[in-house]
Amino acid sequence: MAPTPSPLACNGLFHYCGCSSGSSADRALREPVHPVRIYEEAYRGLATLETRRSGSPSCFRKRLVRAFIQTPIESHTSTMPATTRGVKRCCAAADVGSNTDSLSRPRKNARTSMNSIPSKSISYESKPTTSKFLEFPAEIRNRIYDFAKEQSYEGWWNPVPLLSRRQSDQSPSPWPIKHPHSSARNYFGLTQVCKQIRTEYRPLWMRNSSVRVKLEALRLWMWVFYAGKHQHQNAPQLLQISWANEDDSSSSERMLDLTPLIQLRAHRPTFTVEFVADALVEGLGRPLVSGELCSVSGEPLLTQEDRQAKYDDWILMQEAEHSYLPALNEFLAHDNARWLSHIRDHKVCRVNCTIDSWFSKPTVFIRFPTDGMPKDDENQGEGIRGYLKKVGILDLPAYQELGVEVSFKV
């Protein structure tokens, strides 16, 4: 009698099961199942018991996965040991072919299929930690920085966009541009890239930038950007201060401290500061010329030439009301070497100014230390007028429009 074929051989897969009919292992006798599939089905049966006992099958799952991963493939051909409490376990042995070298680690809650068993090695390339820009030679980077220059401005007819203190948390910058569509800080973001680029580019950007602030924000702006003397050499190329002409007499009593501005000028002679009329820059009070039509003829009441003439008259009126600003700007632009040297060496304690809008004349107050004016062989004994002559203040074209007073610290 021919021997009965063993039920352990089935399409190249070997199964052994002591489970009752209808169980997962019983089904495994009738159809080829991968060992991992049998492990999972056995786990489902045991997980039910574990849940009834402790309410959580996670510990059993971890032990099952750990045992499967750590056990060699050949050992899966052996019979699994019997389980406690009458739970029937099943194991399987796979006819491992020459094309299968390893099995992928199953996910914790994955339903593994036959097609997802073979593992694939995936290589991940590490992302670069630094930009390729930093690998350029210093000469190339400086050349690129040279192209990243801000636009130049001049006067009230080409003013710098106003830089205003942040009023809400919506703006990411503490000093945003009032009108973002016209910005004087187009390359400001380059100073925020990384520490190295900030160290290299920020001084260049600050020296080539232009800023306009209101008079009431000037002190805070100076404190934020130029608090230390080491920052004076990075002064911007242009600083515009919006000046609003007051209608009452309080403006003539307001004392302006020009010392920080002249200090910036002394440490960086290319720095320019100028007061600009806020009405001209912002167009405050300009005539509103509408295209009103005549009720009879239907033609515009004012032609284009009439509108332009009306606007020009308004410009002349504003320039006449602020006629004292050019004289003050000329004094701030004074570049006499001896004068700037005395400012740097603190031989001049303080320079203040008051503006009398009624008489259209600014008055400058120069204050010296207790020991008096600087004395050298050239100006010793020449007095105040001699000193003003030596430092070039008397030679300013706008000197006749200025009032200069000298005092000494007590």
For 29-63, the DSSP string reads HHS---HHHHHHHHHHHHHHHHHHHHS--HHHHHH
Q: Which pLDDT score is estimated for 385?
A: 83
> Domain spans of the chain?
9-116, 244-408
Phi, psi of 375 (to 5 degrees): -115, 130
Residues 6+ apart with CB under 8 A from 78: 91, 93
Confidence at residue 371, expressed as pLDDT on a 0 to 100 scale: 72
Q: What predicted TM-score, i.e. pTM, was given to this entire model?
A: 0.60
pLDDT at 241: 92
Q: How many CB atoms lie within 10 A of CB 256?
A: 20
253: exposed, middle or buried (Cβ count in 10 Å: 0-12, 13-18, 19+): exposed
**pLDDT for res 239:** 92
Residue stretches of the chain with pLDDT short of 70: 1-130, 165-183, 246-253, 285, 287-302, 357, 359, 372, 374-382, 410
What pLDDT sits at residue 94?
A: 41
Q: Tell me the residue length of the chain.
A: 410
Which positions ≥6 away from 32 have C-beta within 8 Å? 10, 11, 12, 13
Give the angle subtended at the CA of 209 by the CAs of 203 and 215, to the nearest 5°. 115
Tokens of 382: 């020449």
Whole-number pLDDT of residue 351: 92
Q: Residue 189: which residues within 8 A CB-CB, separation 6 or more?
A: none
Distances 72 to 69, 76, 102, 319, 326 between C-alpha atoms, Å: 8, 7, 10, 94, 92
* Digit-coded pLDDT (tens) for 130-186: 678 888 888 898 898 888 888 888 877 888 888 776 544 444 444 455 554 456 778
d(CA 244, CA 402): 20
> What pLDDT shows up at residue 339?
92
**What pLDDT, on a 0 to 100 scale, did the predictor assign at position 370?**
75
Six token digits for residue 175: 């000093």
Tokens 């290589």, residue located: 123
The span from the first CA to the last CA of the chain, in angstroms, equals 133
Q: What is the pLDDT of residue 404?
A: 87
